[in-house]
């Protein structure tokens, strides 16, 4: 007799938006801080509190913002998603919004990262991106002196990490563009190549539109005095701005290369069409000779002396062959065939 076995479905794992909440103090090991205890360590006369979140909900941001002493409009800005880079200065903190970029099967996917820089604390919020900040966190923890420079320096390091990822992404796209160009030269023009070139050029335009304003954002932070950005740290934001400018130049050069390849593909297509037209015209001229002669003698007039001539038929065949052969040789010589 069989026994029924009931299998309970796996419960959905709840999303944990907290990536890390760590207090860094000079001469002491990093201290993990629960979110409900951040008020104990802010304002930051005890070190640097770095809280990292990923896709947090509204309730969490409202509570955390209140614990950090943020104004309502600052909390509203943190809750809102963003599609373009920006920098906003508030009384308690400075907010920098950066656009993240990832490639999935050579298609760009964008997210946003918010960096809220305050005295003694740094709040990072990531949305729509799988890339973490764990790499830069480990590097900074390995050199505690860098963390002691403050939240503004750490924010500049995070932006520099994002620029590194921009560079890697564009390097992948650059290789893809070179591959398409080589295929175009080796195997000739194909309709799929034109569609691929257009898609790459459109993706580069989307990337440029999303990340180009980051240069102006970082330039503004480096030049404008802000309460939460030290003068020593402003220079680092200027370096990030210079790197983004170079990335924008690379994007422009790739778009120009794609435009040239697109024009070259159209020219190759026109040449191929012209070559086909020439071949068709040449064969049409050759076939017109037997067609015309056969048409004349196919009219069956009674008074056609050649019809009574003994050598008329072979003479006509010889004339057709001679004229067609001459035309073929001539077209071959001018490379129409």
Per-residue confidence (pLDDT) for residue 9, from 0 to 100: 47
The rounded distance, in Å, linking the Cα atoms of 227 and 314 is 105
Q: What Rg value do the Cα atoms of the chain yield, rounded? A: 36
Most confident residue range from 198-202, 218-222, 324-328, 330-334: 218-222
Residues 248 and 326 in one domain: no
The tokens for 46 are 């005890």
Q: In what order do the strands lie in the sheet with 48-54?
A: 31-32, 18-24, 48-54, 121-127, 107-118, 93-104, 86-89
Name the pLDDT band for 92 (thresholds 50, 70, 90): confident
98, 115 Cβ separation under 8 angstroms = yes
- What residue numbers bound the domain in which 103 lies? 18-267
Taking only the tens place, the pLDDT of each residue in 141-179 is 888 788 888 899 999 999 999 999 999 999 998 888 888
* Residue range 279-285: mean pLDDT, rounded: 80
What's the pLDDT at 167?
93
pLDDT at 149 (0 to 100)? 87
pLDDT tier at 306 (50, 70, 90 boundaries)? low
The domain boundary residue, chosen from 230, 249, 267: 267
Tell me how many domains the chain contains.
2
Q: Is residue 308 scored above 80 in pLDDT? A: no
User: Is residue 1, in this structure, part of any structural domain at all?
Assistant: no
Could you tell me if 23 and 168 lie in one domain?
A: yes
Tell whether 257 and 282 lie within a shared domain: no
286, 236 contact by CB (below 8 A): no
Decide if 301 is inside a domain: yes
- With cut-offs at 50, 70 and 90, classify the pLDDT of residue 262: confident
Q: What is the pLDDT of residue 272?
A: 66
For residues 133 and 171, membership in a common domain is answered with: yes
C-alpha span between 251 and 312 (Å, rounded)? 74
In this structure, the answer to whether residues 62 and 26 fall within a common structural domain is yes
Say if residue 93 is in the same domain as residue 232.
yes
Q: Considering the chain, what percentage of its residues have pLDDT values greater than 90?
A: 31
* CB of 68 closer than 8 Å to CB of 51: no
111 and 84 assigned to the same domain: yes
| Residue 12 is assigned to a structural domain of this protein | no
Confidence at residue 169, expressed as pLDDT on a 0 to 100 scale: 92
Q: Percentage of residues in the chain with pLDDT exceeding 70?
A: 87
Q: Is 274 exposed, middle or buried (0-12, 13-18, 19+ CB in 10 A)?
A: exposed
Q: Are residues 102 and 140 in the same domain?
A: yes
Q: Is a pLDDT exceeding 80 seen at residue 310?
A: no
* Least confident segment among 3-12, 197-206, 242-251: 3-12
Q: Are residues 280 and 244 in the same domain?
A: no
Q: Greater confidence, 304 or 201?
A: 201
| CA–CA dist 187, 253 (Å, integer) | 24
| Residue 60, domain CATH | 3.30.460.20
The answer to whether residue 6 is domain-embedded is: no
Q: Which residue has the tokens 């090991």?
A: 29
Same-domain check for residues 174 and 240: yes
Q: What is the reported pLDDT for 206?
A: 92
Q: Between 120 and 9, whose confidence is greater?
A: 120
Dist. CA 195–CA 203, nearest whole Å: 12
In a domain, 3, yes or no: no
pTM for the predicted model, two decimal places: 0.74
Listed residues 267, 283, 315: the one ending a domain: 267
Q: Are residues 255 and 239 in the same domain?
A: yes
Separation of alpha carbons 206 and 186, rounded Å = 29
**CA separation, residue 33 to residues 40, 51, 75, 179 (Å):** 9, 9, 21, 49
Is residue 7 situated within a structural domain? no
Query: Which residue among 246, 267, 288 closes a domain?
Result: 267
Q: How many residues does the chain have?
A: 337
* Domain-located, residue 2: no
The mean pLDDT of the chain is 83
pLDDT at residue number 301: 66
Q: Are residues 192 and 325 in the same domain?
A: no
CATH code for the domain of 284: 1.20.58
């Amino acid at each position: 007799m069989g026994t029924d076995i009931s299998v309970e479905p796996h419960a959905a794992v709840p999303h944990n938006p907290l990536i890390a909440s760590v207090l860094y103090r000079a001469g002491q090991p990093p201290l993990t801080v629960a979110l409900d205890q951040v008020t104990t360590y802010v304002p930051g006369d005890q070190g640097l509190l770095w809280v990292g979140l990923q896709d947090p909900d509204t309730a969490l941001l409202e509570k955390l913002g209140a614990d950090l002493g943020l104004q309502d409009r600052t909390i509203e800005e943190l809750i809102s998603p963003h599609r373009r880079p920006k920098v906003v200065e508030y009384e308690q903190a400075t907010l920098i919004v950066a656009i993240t970029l990832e490639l999935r099967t050579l298609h760009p996917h964008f997210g946003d990262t918010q960096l809220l820089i305050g005295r003694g604390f740094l709040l990072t919020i990531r949305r729509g991106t799988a890339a973490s900040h764990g790499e830069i966190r480990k590097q900074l923890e390995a050199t505690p002196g860098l963390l002691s420079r403050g939240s503004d320096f750490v924010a500049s390091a995070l932006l520099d990490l994002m620029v590194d990822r921009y560079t890697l992404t564009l390097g992948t796209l650059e290789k893809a563009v070179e591959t398409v160009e080589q295929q175009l030269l080796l195997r000739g023009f194909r309709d799929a190549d034109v569609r691929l070139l257009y898609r790459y050029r459109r993706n580069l335009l989307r990337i440029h539109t999303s990340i180009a304003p980051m240069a102006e954002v970082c330039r503004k932070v480096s030049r404008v005095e802000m309460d939460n950005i030290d003068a020593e740290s402003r220079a680092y934001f200027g370096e990030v701005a210079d790197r983004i400018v170079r990335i924008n130049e690379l994007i422009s050069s790739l778009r120009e290369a794609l435009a040239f390849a697109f024009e070259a593909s159209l020219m190759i297509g026109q040449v191929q069409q012209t070559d086909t037209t020439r071949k068709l015209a040449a064969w049409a001229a050759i076939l017109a000779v037997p067609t015309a002669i056969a048409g004349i003698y196919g009219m069956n007039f009674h008074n056609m002396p050649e019809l009574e001539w003994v050598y008329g038929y072979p003479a006509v065949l010889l004339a057709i062959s001679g004229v067609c052969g001459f035309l073929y040789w001539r077209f071959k010589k001018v490379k129409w065939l």
